[in-house]
Structure 1
Amino acid sequence: MSPRQAGPGPLLSVAGLTTVFEPPSGRLTAVDGVDLDVFRGQILAVVGDSGCGKTMRSLSVLGLVPPPGRVVSGRAVFAGRDLLALSEGERRAVRGARASMIFQEPMTSLNPVLPIGEQVAEPVRVHRRASKREALGAAAAMLAKVGLPDPARVLSRYPHELSGGQRQRAMIAMALILSPQLLIADEPTTALDVTVQRQILDLVSGLSRDTGTAVVLVTHNLGVVAQVANAVAVMYAGRLVEDAPVEAFFEGPAHPYGQGLLASLPRLADRGRRLSAIPGMVPSLSRLPSGCHFHPRCPRAFGPCAGEVPPFFPLPDGRRVRCWLYA
């Protein structure tokens, strides 16, 4: 499935999204003019180095950017409404009911003084106005779906009484309990063993397939991307540099940064050989290079790369790439 596919319009269309932080030391641009569409039933994987803007892009769309950060420009049109133009009350009515997010750090995202059952049941009580008994019943059923044993007992437990993996599954249950139209999953399988990881990925894939839920999967794990995604968006230093159908990406990334990511994966056939690595370091947001942010590390950089920001160039196979090599 192409990330720019024909047919019905996108469920979420992000255009020109720019998010900055303004500490006393000066402005830092965490998300820089991102344009991206997400379609119903699509699982879009967003990949890139830590600090490249993957999570901040997701928080910006839902109006959850922590201070001193703020969205300074752009649109995020979800089901026909620009989320960035809504009041906080209007956004709150969307979050949890029609658009949900699985956060990366369950220990800091779960309320330490409330039982797990109350937290997982909260979306049902708030958005469906269900009774406490009905909501807790739905919470127990969802906890069972995400692989927590003895869910009735877990309802009365507090976050500190669960393991890291159990807390992560509780967060996933909270996000999925209302079968949202859009699910943003920020490293959803962190701290889970491979068996439970497979269960969670199957659950998310099944939700997307059966209900048409659009999933934005933020991850460092390219193996997970290959298993479940049907489109890939690659970010570097706050900018989207490539989006592609997953098959095209794994057959050969177009952007040199994506090529470096794929080349760095260990392979059984390369046993005994030194792992490939991208030279240099990820730039600090306070000292971003001019032009293409990747050019100081790029083995194929040439004239315009250091001076001009490349636009997106469409390729025949449906992908887009922000690189002067394709001018």
Structure 2
Amino acid sequence: MMLTATTLVVLLCFAAWAGWLTWRQHKLDAALAILRVDEPRVAQVQEAQLRWRALEPAIDPATYPVEIFDQIVNLLPEEGIRFLDFSMDLETLVISGEATSPIHASKFQADLKASPALERYAFSTPVPTIRPDNRAIFRVEGNINGGGEDEASERRLLLLFFVLLAVISGLLGTRELLSWQKRLGKAEDRLTLTQMESRLLLEEADVWNARNEWIYQSQPAMKDALEANQELTRAEEMARDRGLETLNRQLLEPESTGLYQQLGFTMTVKGPLQEVFRWLHRLQAPADFRVIPSLKVAPDKQDPNLVVATVQVWRWYRTAGQPASASGPLTAGTTRP
């Protein structure tokens, strides 16, 4: 009788376990069905988000070399630091310079790391080289932070439960139920992350859709490949207007992606630092969709009052099939939303 009662209790335990797993499976399937309903809206927001982030170097002034250099210059003391070289691309920036003392060099390096305006960069600052006259040669390298956030989940209780189930299953030989339990646990974890991502995207849908609409209305259409010549000619004229001397110029090969068609050129100019950056400032405005993927500035070897700047400029035109806009060549564009 006792054996029969024990068997019944065991069977009831297994039945309850299987029933609990069945309920969880049903709940999981219902949640996945809701997600499938939202999939088209989520995909639309993801596409708008992808387009904006791909075009961000052209439309977000905070990423422009002129703006970044201005933030760096604002950290300089009134005296004690001079730059020997400044270069940057879409992922990194490098500064080398000379300080009147190691203290000046170290403080400037620390200020760069602490600057809120430059928090998108992770800076590495090697120990400055000290000269016999106590001057310090320093170098700073900044790389775009990878970003990303880890989503927390309540795993400790679940882990403890798994351990208890493993002990029970080892005693009773219930590998099938345990396997089902593990599969459900993984599926539920994936579901939680997907639900969180979908919820955040849908909450920001209006913002991303508005940005996407601004792109469609503002991104210029490329008439023909000769526009590259026109862009280069206009850039030279603008450099001349600022009193800059063009040392070199070269067109780049056109490129095309699913998000834009690219024309570009490389120019090397010489002139006062302030005028060089005023010229660069005129080259970029959000509605013009121009990118400066590479910039290198160094003092002129013959005249220390001048600098030599080599800059690469791209313009990202809309792809075929997108509505046309009225944006013209090398004009000051409107701001983004």
Fold match (TM-score > 0.5): no
TM bracket, shorter-chain basis: under 0.3
Larger helix percent: 2
TM-score by length of 1: 0.20
Larger Rg: 2
TM-score by length of 2: 0.20
